[in-house]
Amino acid sequence: MSRLTFLDISYNYDLETRQSSSWIRNLRGLEHLRLAEVNLTRDVVESVVSLPNLTSLVMSDMPGTPLSPLGNLTSLSHLELFGTYFTQQSFPIWISNLTSLVSLYLTKYNISSSMPSAVLSLPHLRNLELFGNPSLKVNLSSIVQHASQLSSLSIVHSDVGRMIPNSTGNMSSLTTSALYDNNIQGRLLDSMGNMSLLTTLALSDNNIEGSLPDSMGNMFSLTSLDLSYNAIQGNLPNFIGNLSQLEYLRLSRNSLRGNIPLSSLGGLPKLSYLSIGSNQLNGSLPSTFGNLSSLIKLDVSNNSLSGTFLLSQLENFTKIRDLSLSDNFLRVKVEDFWIPKFQLQALYLSSCNMDGDFPSFLSTQYNIDELDLSNNSLGGNIPDWLWGLT
């Protein structure tokens, strides 16, 4: 067993490991250890520190098992602690001794202290994820000051302060940044445009206000942008058309107004997810919408869009699966005998001023499982084939 390098005994809560801790001490060559939902005794957990070659450690959901200091594991590069019980409520300062640490993931802890700057100053730290720690105080300014070399930063449902620091743009090495559900306030800064390597930016479920800065048009590497559930105002900016790598765009539940800049959106050939519902957008949906042929989801619901929209204008949307046009001032029309090239899974056309017979194209939608045609003026009979859409 001393030659074993990888061990995963997760999800074996009734595994008999209580008789002795010698079994783990004998695994001198172990490099990767995963313990999740395993009911271990204290001496077994403490024996982990005797593994000299351990580089990756995952410990999660071990109720009743106190977490011992692991600062002697100086070869550790990956540490993931999920729901493990600390012996104290202060931040485990021994993490600052893990000088080889590259990735640190701390999830769902009842820590009421601040994160020490010594942890942020670890020389090789590149990936930091803090999820579901509402009492853990993490100062964004301190992260920028001490950990500007991070390539991945995810802080979710934690206390990161209320404002985005002006120095955030100095984190030019970031490729992924997820700071959602943190009650962050204030405006997005011009300096964010300096983060040209960023591929994922998620700031949803905060209280960010103001307009989107034009400098974001320099974030050419972005593939995913989620700013939903904020208080962002102003028009949908034309610079979005510069983000040619964008695949996922979610700006729903804000206060955006004005027309949809379809000429800009039409320059995003990779866009597969577009959600701009629940804003104050107006104007029409012209036929140029059909240029976004890679879309899988389109949500423009709950705005003030108007005019007549023919569903056949989506003729090129061969990949679309989720379509929502509900709760606008649109008049949606469906031509008789039209057979689309797509197969929908969800269709929301509530309050779309539809009239005439029940739309016959739905008989060709064999995969649909969510359909909303409420609050329209459809007449005639409900066709028998509808009940065959199992």
Mean per-residue pLDDT for 239-261? 94
Domains 186-277 and 284-390 share a fold: yes
When pLDDT is cut at 50, 70 and 90, the band that residue 66 belongs to is low
d(C-alpha 309, C-alpha 109), whole Å: 50
pLDDT 10s digits, 293-324: 899 999 999 999 999 999 998 888 899 999 99
Local confidence band at 227 (pLDDT 50, 70, 90 cut-offs): very high
For residue 346, what pLDDT is reported?
Answer: 97
CATH of domain 284-390: 3.80.10.10
CB-CB neighbours of 178 under 10 Å = 20
Task: Quickly count: other Cβ atoms within 10 Å of residue 137's Cβ.
Answer: 16
| Cα–Cα distances in angstroms (integers) from residue 60 to residues 7, 20, 64, 102, 128, in the given order | 15, 21, 12, 19, 17
Q: Residue 266: count other Cβ atoms within 10 Å of its Cβ.
A: 15
The residues with which 304 forms a beta bridge, in sequence order, are 282
- Residue 57 phi, psi (nearest 5): -135, 125
Q: Where are the domains of the chain?
A: 186-277, 284-390
Q: Is the dihedral of CA 179, 183, 184, 186 positive or negative?
A: positive
Tell me which residue has tokens 């009239």. Answer: 355
Cβ atoms of residues 191 and 219 within 8 Å: no
pLDDT tens profile 334-361: 988 899 999 999 999 999 999 999 999 9
Predicted pLDDT of residue 288: 64
Task: Give me Rg for the CA atoms of the chain.
Answer: 26
Tokens representing 71?
């600062």
Three-state DSSP at 111 gives: coil
186-277 maps to which CATH number? 3.80.10.10
| pLDDT tens, residue by residue, 114-124 | 888 999 999 99
- Give the N- to C-terminal CA distance of the chain in Å, as an integer: 53
